[in-house]
Structure 1
Amino acid sequence: MSWPNLFLIAAPRAGSTQLARWLDSHPDIALAPIKEPNHFSAHEFPCDYVARHHLDDVNPARYVRSLRRRPAQFAIFRDAGHYRALFAPLTARWRCDASTTYLACPEAPAAILSACGPGARAITLTRDPVARAISHYRLALRTGRWRGSLRAAIERELSPLCPLPERFVLRPSRQAKGVTRVAAVFGPERHLALTFEEMTRDPAATLARVAAFLDVDPAGFDLSREGRNASRAPRWPALNAWAQATGLKTALRRALPPRAKRALGRIYFRDFPPPLPSREEIALLEAALAGEMEGCAA
């Protein structure tokens, strides 16, 4: 019971936060308190890199020892005991891990099935490759992890020296191979493929498909729950990048209660999103993802 048995294997910026909220609203489905524990892709995140870039929203060892477990978005749970401790208190029929790093990770699907057994099921969630990449680029600007142009991000990612965790434009948008891997490992009876476009166009129909896949009551989902990631632009980009690089933002996320974080966010961010890339940069992105776009269309 302490292993999860449902995996939302989504591309980043494909709507997994919203879908996870809807899944968690159902009485037969429970989401881990850390939405993305990344246990089965942890080998792609070297320990020194995670520490240097302050990627963990929580310290996994301290978190599982804590009596008060606040929900958080992202952490690297390497230790199997720590990972299983996230799910041990969950008593719902389906216990969900919604890590967005599993789709691009070649080893993750087979590792999931090996650890969690043949009863585990997977839902893949993908998005138009170019739209996904632009959304992720704008998120990187918002968080301060990237301050350059989209062209510079693409050129850096094409370099063999670029670490895997920093390939946020092209690699996560190449989703077809990931979906094929999941489908091959889990088989047609234990894999459901969804898209961001169909989910946003008709949420009720998408959740009806999920209900049929998991054999749960479709009326159990609460569509009023919102879980979208904010896309507001920081007022002070240089300060934002410094706060991210030094770990100040991570420290504040860990220490501040939700109400204080919301109040600080109203001061720190403006009420409009980061700028869109230029048409020339978007054309460059489309050229880099041309094969993926053809595969998605097929």
Structure 2
Amino acid sequence: MNAPALKTPPPPALPFFPDFFIVGAPRCGTTAMSHYLAHHPEICFSRPKEPHYFSLLQKILPGLDLEKHYLGHCFNHYDPAQHQVLGEGSVSYLYDTQAIEHILHLNPSAKFIIMVRNPVDMVYSYHARLVALLDETEEDFGKAWRLRHQRAQGKSIPKTCRDPFLLQYEEVGKTGKYLQQLFHIAGRDRCLVIVFDDFVSNPRESYLKILDFIQIKDDGRTEFYPVESNKYARSKLLQRILKRPPVRVASFVANLEYQKKRKKLKKKIPYQAPAQMAVEKKHRH
């Protein structure tokens, strides 16, 4: 099924644009897979892994220049003599039809990779991740789950939460619903689904499936070591400082520069290794 035509002007002439997107789901190994793909010599993967340009950032900072603020900064390492394809990994796109439509408007041939797992395991791990990032302040998962109806009405939203939708655990866990939505918009043939348990048990097989999907040759990778999706500062105050600058005053470019400085700062302070890895053991949440 082809994507519906958008009633918008023709896309601007761009020097290049991503060929594939890892759009979800959260806590399903997307960080690890993005890391492996980024090290393939023929793949240019965005830095950072999740720019969220077509979803969250467009809502917070509308009017960003696509070529300057997205392509120029997230893909400034692109070398056309070396790289055959470009990709990025914003998991927020799975839940945002406008983001998918915008991407397809700019590149009708774009491909989408979706990594999925048992929804119960995913949501439980996802909650822990939000707590670590201070998007969630309720550390008890059961209590956080019961707050979802209040939060859907705009109540009990932590001041540090980037987007209230992030706290809708039940909705985030409905990956089947959003998969079907993506299939309808983009076309089933342009979507590849990778099951998390299969990825954990045989990462090379999943890796090769993606390379075949994006039409890139095998680079011979055989080592698929665990990749940390984050490092948590011991102090919640430090974590808040390291997390991001205030969105109302930060530009997209400043935020990218901030992230580079944040990585250097994190190396100088004590941290706890995370409980979750992007590639986890089967029974770890």
Write out aligned runs for 1:1-298 (5 A).
1-42=15-56, 45-47=59-61, 78-81=64-67, 82-85=69-72, 86-87=74-75, 89-90=77-78, 91=80, 92-118=83-109, 120-148=110-138, 149-159=140-150, 160-162=152-154, 164-167=164-167, 169-221=169-221, 223-224=223-224, 226-230=226-230, 235=234, 239-240=235-236, 242-245=237-240, 247-250=241-244, 254-258=260-264, 260-264=265-269, 267-269=270-272, 273=275
Q: Is the 8 A contact 1:127 1:197 kept in 2?
A: yes
Q: Is the 8 A contact 1:244 1:250 kept in 2?
A: no
Structure 1 or 2: more helix by fraction: 1
- The residue type equivalent to 1:217 in the other structure is K
Q: How much identity, in percent, do the aligned residues show?
A: 20
Write the deviation string for residues 19-68 of structure 1: whole angstroms up to 9, x where unpaired: 00111122221101121111221377435xxxxxxxxxxxxxxxxxxxxx
Write the deviation string for residues 62-118 of structure 1: whole angstroms up to 9, x where unpaired: xxxxxxxxxxxxxx9943231122336523121001101011113222221111232
Q: Which moved more, 1:153-162 or 1:129-138?
A: 153-162
Report the aligned-residue RMSD. Answer: 2.9
Q: Structure 1: which 5+ residue stretches go unaligned? A: 48-75, 275-298
Q: Distance in 1 between matches of 2:76 and 2:220?
A: 23
| Counterparts in 2 of 1:154 and 1:44: CA distance versus 1, 3 Å | farther
3-state SS of the aligned residue for 2:40? coil
Q: Is the 8 A contact 1:16 1:98 kept in 2?
A: yes
3-state SS of the aligned residue for 1:107? helix
User: 2:5 maps to which residue?
Assistant: none
Q: Is the 8 A contact 1:9 1:99 kept in 2?
A: yes
Q: Structure 2: which 5+ residue stretches go unaligned? A: 1-14, 155-162, 246-257, 277-285
- The residue type equivalent to 1:37 in the other structure is P
Deviation at 1:249, TM superposition (A): 4.3
TM-score normalised to structure 1 length? 0.68
Structure 1 stretches of 4+ with a deviation exceeding 4 A read: 251-254
Aligned length: 235
Write the deviation string for residues 173-203 of structure 1: whole angstroms up to 9, x where unpaired: 1111221122223323322111211111111
Deviation at 1:11, TM superposition (A): 1.2
Write the deviation string for residues 117-157 of structure 1: whole angstroms up to 9, x where unpaired: 32x11111112111111111112232333232223322332
Q: Distance in 1 between matches of 2:167 and 2:64?
A: 21
Q: Is the 8 A contact 2:136 2:167 kept in 1?
A: no
Q: Distance in 1 between matches of 2:207 and 2:271?
A: 35
